[in-house]
């Protein structure tokens, strides 16, 4: 494979730095902790790591509110630590992707501190400011994802500023060319330090509608899905004007032009729009835009074979030129073992989910702890850290349950994560799933994860082949991965009951072995799959 396209079919391991490993004793993970665990990550067989924000920040949104794009927050270490991290990762043949949060900053960023002072200063037009209506109300009806209105009054300027997220996260004005230039310079700062790419947070939120038109109301029947509960008023609108504007395409082309000056550097855009699949296709079209698109379409609670098939097929039909990236868990959603499917047999389900995710066409993002089969942690209200969960408790408990620290050792204090008090509690059931314990069990979720990723590297069809689904009934998902004259049939049982399904195939199947998963069998045109079972075979004509 061309080294510049290393990201095609790669498995990227997402690190939430607060929760991987603490070396300072303050209960918060840090960059030296990541360095310490890079050997473990390399042993998993992943190709790259994506590190969530570690930049200087007041931590109102745990690093997604940046006050200095070029400084590392002392909680996590310093630039020297980051340089050591890059060096060790590259020595282990691991690429390093870092988050870039471009659409907004912290309200403690120097740009905003200056911009808020007056309507005439040098940074006056660097953020989205608007006058009040005649009656003092905000300029339009836009809403914040975290609840309530998206406009905050600033008495110094006697204007409102836009915040699509927390009111401490003011939105930058990308209609201003100076903002675009400064943003690109910040990106290049990290390219010069050796990063291999970026995960671009909320990349479709960079531009807003210049006319500040109201968003139209959304019918009650359409307020489900896309990650927003119906009790969040954000779900009440079609978000046509506060994000995903036409001007954004030209800006992402500017990002791509910059990255093309650094061979091998790749951009992965996080996209959440009214039609995320269509936006993913648009933003990855041709060779001048993002390398990959990433959405929340498989981060929902729908675990049906029909939904997965429809989602992937829709993207395949739209994305005729670009390259997808798939994830079934991250730091913003309930862990997949708890979110998808029936309860029970979670270890086998976790193994199957890894195989399913890594068999889709695209690049794969696996969130830390998925290799252990961790379930969503139950966090008491008084232990919550996430402002999103605090606002919407108890109907929505926030994102803390998927952000608890990694359990490294079942017999050590705080599961070996920290010598201090962890920033979030570590559930007892997570300690029983610790790395040290699973390493000793050849049949563990962890060893299955390692084995499958190693096995997958031997099958180019699973890495870069085309995908075509085969008609099946619930709860079975079957598809064909094709590369040149090779065809790989892949099947999954999404239930905890044995399933049988008829397959109308032209040719014979030669089953692959050695993938280390609970495997099905094919005979007389019928595929039999055990609970949460998998099937891999070569289709011979």
Q: Residue 79, Cα to own-chain centre: how many angstroms?
A: 25
Report the alpha-carbon distance of residue 288 to residue 263 in Å, rounded: 14
Cβ atoms of 352 and 492 within 8 Å: the answer is yes
> Could you count the other beta carbons within 10 Å of the beta carbon of residue 122?
10
Name the active-site residue from 270, 347, 376, 400.
Answer: 270
Q: What angle do CA 428, 441, 370 make, to 5 degrees?
A: 55
Report which DSSP code applies to 234. Answer: G
Report which DSSP code applies to 309. Answer: H
In DSSP notation, 422-484 reads: -SS---HHHHTT-HHHHHT-TTSHHHHHHHHHHHHTT-HHHHH-EEEEE---TTEEEEEEEET
CA distances from 165 to 105, 124, 147 (A): 10, 21, 8
The dihedral sign for the CA sequence 235, 333, 246, 174: positive
Cβ atoms of 291 and 267 within 8 Å: the answer is yes
How many alpha carbons lie under 13 Å from residue 465 in its C-beta half-sphere?
25
Cβ atoms of 193 and 85 within 8 Å: the answer is no
Catalytic site includes residue 135: no
Name the active-site residue from 47, 201, 386, 400.
Answer: 201
Cβ atoms of 388 and 146 within 8 Å: the answer is yes
Catalytic site includes residue 201: yes
Active site members: 201, 270
């Amino acid at each position: 494979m061309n080294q510049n396209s290393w990201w095609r079919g790669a498995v990227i391991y997402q690190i939430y730095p607060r929760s991987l490993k603490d070396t300072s004793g303050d209960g918060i993970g840090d960059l030296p902790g990541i360095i310490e665990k890079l050997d473990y990550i390399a042993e998993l067989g992943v190709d790259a790591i994506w590190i969530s924000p570690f930049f200087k920040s007041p931590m109102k949104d745990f690093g997604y509110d940046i006050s200095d794009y070029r400084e590392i927050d002392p909680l996590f270490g310093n630039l020297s630590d980051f340089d050591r991290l890059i060096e060790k990762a590259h020595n282990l043949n691991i690429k390093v992707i870092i988050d870039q949060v471009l659409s907004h900053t912290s309200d403690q960023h120097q740009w905003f501190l200056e911009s808020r002072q007056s309507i005439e200063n040098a940074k006056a037009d660097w953020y989205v400011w608007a006058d009040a209506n005649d009656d003092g109300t905000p300029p339009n009806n836009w809403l914040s994802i975290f609840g309530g209105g998206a406009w905050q009054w600033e008495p110094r300027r006697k204007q409102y500023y836009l915040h699509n997220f927390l009111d401490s996260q003011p939105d930058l004005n990308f209609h201003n060319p100076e903002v675009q230039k400064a943003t690109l310079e910040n990106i290049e700062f990290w390219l010069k330090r050796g990063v291999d790419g970026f995960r671009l947070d909320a990349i479709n939120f960079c531009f807003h509608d210049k006319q500040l038109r109201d968003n139209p109301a959304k019918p009650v029947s359409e307020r489900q899905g896309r990650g927003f509960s119906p009790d969040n008023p954000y779900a009440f609108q079609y978000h046509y004007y506060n994000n995903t504007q036409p001007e954004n395409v030209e800006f992402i082309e500017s990002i791509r032009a910059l990255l093309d000056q650094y061979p091998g550097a790749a951009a992965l855009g996080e996209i959440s729009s009214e039609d995320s699949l269509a936006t993913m296709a648009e933003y990855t079209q041709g060779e001048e835009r993002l390398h990959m698109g990433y959405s929340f379409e498989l981060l929902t609670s729908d675990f049906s074979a029909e939904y997965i098939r429809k989602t992937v097929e829709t993207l395949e039909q739209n994305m005729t030129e670009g390259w997808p990236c798939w994830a079934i868990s991250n730091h913003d959603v309930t862990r997949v073992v708890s979110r998808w499917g029936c309860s029970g047999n979670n270890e086998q389900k976790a193994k199957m989910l890894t195989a399913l995710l890594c068999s889709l066409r695209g690049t794969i993002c696996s969130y830390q702890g998925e290799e252990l089969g961790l379930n969503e942690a139950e966090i008491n209200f008084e232990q919550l850290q996430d402002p999103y969960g605090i606002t919407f408790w108890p109907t929505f408990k926030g994102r803390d349950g998927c952000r608890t620290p990694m359990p490294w050792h079942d017999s050590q204090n705080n599961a070996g994560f920290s010598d201090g008090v962890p920033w979030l509690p570590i559930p007892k059931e997570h300690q029983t799933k610790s790395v040290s314990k699973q390493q000793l069990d050849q049949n563990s979720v962890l060893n299955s994860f390692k084995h499958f990723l190693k096995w997958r590297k031997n099958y180019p069809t699973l890495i870069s082949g085309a995908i075509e689904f085969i008609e099946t009934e619930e709860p079975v998902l079957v598809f064909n991965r094709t590369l040149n004259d090779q065809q790989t049939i892949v099947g999954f049982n999404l239930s905890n009951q044995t399933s049988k399904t008829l397959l109308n195939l032209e040719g014979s199947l030669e089953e692959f072995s050695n993938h280390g998963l609970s495997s099905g069998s094919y005979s007389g045109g019928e595929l039999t799959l055990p609970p949460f079972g998998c099937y891999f075979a070569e289709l011979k004509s």
